[in-house]
Amino acid sequence: MLRAGGLVVPVELDIPAARSLPATPMVSQALAWIVEAFAKGGIQPSLGPRLWAIAREAGLRPLGMIGIQPHFGPDDPAAVAVLAGVIRTAAPLIERTGVATAEEIGVETFAQRLRDELERNSAVFAHPTLLSAWATTSPQ
């Protein structure tokens, strides 16, 4: 439905690129749960890096690609909000796929435990990389 010469600019994540610096046990575990549960649930956790190939497979002509990875300091509430929010949202999938139990996740205390871990370790949270590729239809 794109007109000739039209531009498509999808944005997707590369979830496995997320991490804490230095690595901390809780962040590493949470990200491993997310990646494994997504994979078992049929969700591509690393679609962003494939955007160029996906555009080509769709018959488009990729023109460029860019990625950005926001980083949040140890006391930045955005770090906790991002990861705790994803865990809260993904918890049913994590449990349903057998990746972790509700008790292991501890959704009710997850945000506070994460906040404490990041501050205790002076750890920066690196958000999943956001990637975009821009592609066009061939002019006719």
Spatial separation of the C-alpha atoms in residues 135 and 140, rounded to whole Å: 15
- pLDDT tier at 2, thresholds 50, 70, 90: confident
pLDDT of 1 strictly over 80: no
Phi/psi for 23 (5° steps) reads -60, 140
Spatial separation of the C-alpha atoms in residues 26 and 44, rounded to whole Å: 22
pLDDT of 31 strictly over 90: yes
pTM over 0.85: yes
Spatial separation of the C-alpha atoms in residues 129 and 66, rounded to whole Å: 10
pLDDT per residue as tens digits for the range 3-29: 888 899 999 999 999 999 999 999 999
Spatial separation of the C-alpha atoms in residues 4 and 10, rounded to whole Å: 18
Beta strands per DSSP E along 22-97: 61-68, 71-72
Q: Which candidate, 135, 134, 43, 119, places its Cα nearest to that of 86?
A: 43
Spatial separation of the C-alpha atoms in residues 39 and 82, rounded to whole Å: 20
pLDDT of 140 strictly over 70: no
pLDDT per residue as tens digits for the range 46-104: 999 999 999 999 999 999 999 999 999 999 999 999 999 999 999 999 999 999 999 99
